[in-house]
Amino acid sequence: MQDIRDYIESQRNAFEDDLCHLLAIPSVSADSKHRSDVRRAAEWVATRFRELGLQSEIVNTSGQPLVLAESPDVPGAPTVLVYGHYDVQPPDPLSEWITPPFEPTRRDGNIYARGSTDDKGQFLTHVFSTQAWLATRRSLPLKLKFLIEGEEEVGSQGVNEFLEDPASRRRLACDVAVISDTCQFAAGQPAITYGLRGIAYFELRLSGPRQDLHSGTFGGGVTNPANALCKMLSSLIDGQGRIQVPGFYDNVLALSDRERQQFAALPFDERDFMGQIGVEGLSGEASYSTLERRWARPTFDINGIWSGYQGEGAKTVLPARATAKFSFRLVPNQDPHKVAASLATHLRSVCPPGIQMELIDMHGATGVVVPLDSPYMAAASRAIESGFGKAPVYIREGGSIPIVTRFKTSLGVDTLLLGWGLNDDNAHSPNEKFCLADFHRGIQASARLWAELAECKV
């Protein structure tokens, strides 16, 4: 495969420039004022596929469009579905970015931009590896299908609707799926992620008096929605980090002793980790290590909260309203619908007099673990060793990629989670970045992956 390797080396600058073009499009799916930007990103991706000579189509959904593409059939070789997403998280707080989020900037061997690692930079490695095969060999050793969506950051409604349709499922039929939207274990230590957490995301809106009141004249007599919100949210978790929603832990897949041993054997230094994120201590569910808590235990996190006066000085107001966004990370076998139902019952039971509550179930997904002993997993391990010069370790990750569960239930396939990112890439944070060396190693690993997977019996 030296010809393909050489081609990829020769295109370093061109690949980086192409990546920058896509990163410059502010395709923020959570914000309706970026709707046309999201569309523009979809069109950019579809155009890219057509330039490679692949069949490509933009499929409109009730939300953001899907980009589909596929290469010709290769009899006897497996069909691989590559999934990625061209939408990105909102970039705020904008003031904390060193360079603007949608002006991609090369610095210290990284490319800085919103979406650089999550997921534009990562999914493009598979597009560019395909380009390398087609440019040097004129064909691929297996059949590739691409599904690149635009609502991953807001719940993937469009792709879920698409997968409801049997014709769509036939169209995406495959033997295994590949996603690069996770992290390596550490810089210089690639990994294959075999487990992901699910999520159940909510917004809780409390309203009390018709309008803001004077906290002197009314305080003590009237239920304060901000007080109520803090109490209600605090009731969801105890001082030991155990979630208090009734039945929450009923179906939690426990960590096996072997997994706990494997996690403990990984070169994870808690002091380094604290230094990296800038804290002097950690906390979470009692009796679990930091890696266990991040990868394989459910959590409760407030993602946003607001009420009352946020300006300068002291305003003695009893706010009329209080709102929070919060989410539970789920582990395999927990059902987000059951969590939502139990949560709603619990919150209603603790909502005090004089407060109206509205609980919005924003999106949910189950957690997943994929088998470690498949031939596809072995093929992926060899490809990564070839691209990165080091064999991967097997890890789990705390984030949620609901589509992995969806592929299992809708298409009957497992997913290879081959992450080229790093934990300090600032995904979802200011100054998101992607290591350019990993970008190029990812393209090499992907090109090798097509060869390795082509050898798997179907």
- Which of the residues are catalytic? 87, 152
CB nearer to its own copies: pick between 165 and 301: 301
Q: How far apart are CA 367 and CA 324, in angstroms?
A: 24
- Asked if 195 is part of the footprint of its own copies (rule: CB under 8 A), the reply reads no
Report the alpha-carbon distance of residue 137 to residue 4 in Å, rounded.
8
Residue 45 within binding range of its own copies, rule CB under 8 A: no
Tokens of 178: 């590949």
Judged by CB under 8 A, the chain residues 316 through 355 that form the site for its own copies are 316-319, 322-325, 327, 329, 352-355
Is residue 74 part of the contact set for its own copies (CB under 8 A)? Answer: no
Cα–Cα distance between 414 and 105 in angstroms, integer? 36
Task: Find the binder of its own copies among 85, 114, 145, 363 (CB under 8 A).
Answer: 363
Q: What single-letter amino acid sits at 423?
A: N
Q: Which of 195, 182, 110 is nearest to 384 (CA)?
A: 182
- CA–CA separation, 420 and 105 (whole Å): 19
When binding is defined by CB under 8 A, the residue of 56, 423, 444, 446 that contacts its own copies is 423
Instruction: Select from 66-74, 98-106, 210-218, 436-444 the region that touches its own copies (CB under 8 A).
Output: 210-218
Site string for its own copies, 381-420 (x = CB under 8 A): ----------------xxxx--------------------
Whether 154 and 363 have beta carbons less than 8 Å apart is answered as yes
Which parts of 321-374 are beta strand (E)? 321-330, 356-365, 368-369
Task: Tell the burial category of 348 from Cβ atoms under 10 Å away from its Cβ (0-12, 13-18, 19+).
Answer: exposed
Tell me the closest approach of the beta carbon of residue 171 to its own copies, in angstroms.
29
* Residue whose tokens read 């395909």: 130
Q: Which of residues 124-183 bind its own copies (CB under 8 A)?
A: 153-155, 183
Pairing mode, if any, of strands 198-207 and 356-365?
antiparallel
297 binds its own copies (CB under 8 A): yes
Nearer of residues 285 and 335 to its own copies, judged by Cβ: 285
**At its nearest, how many Å lie between its own copies and the CB of residue 412?**
26
Q: Which is nearer to its own copies, 141 or 209 (CB)?
A: 209
Shortest Å, Cβ 325 to its own copies: 6
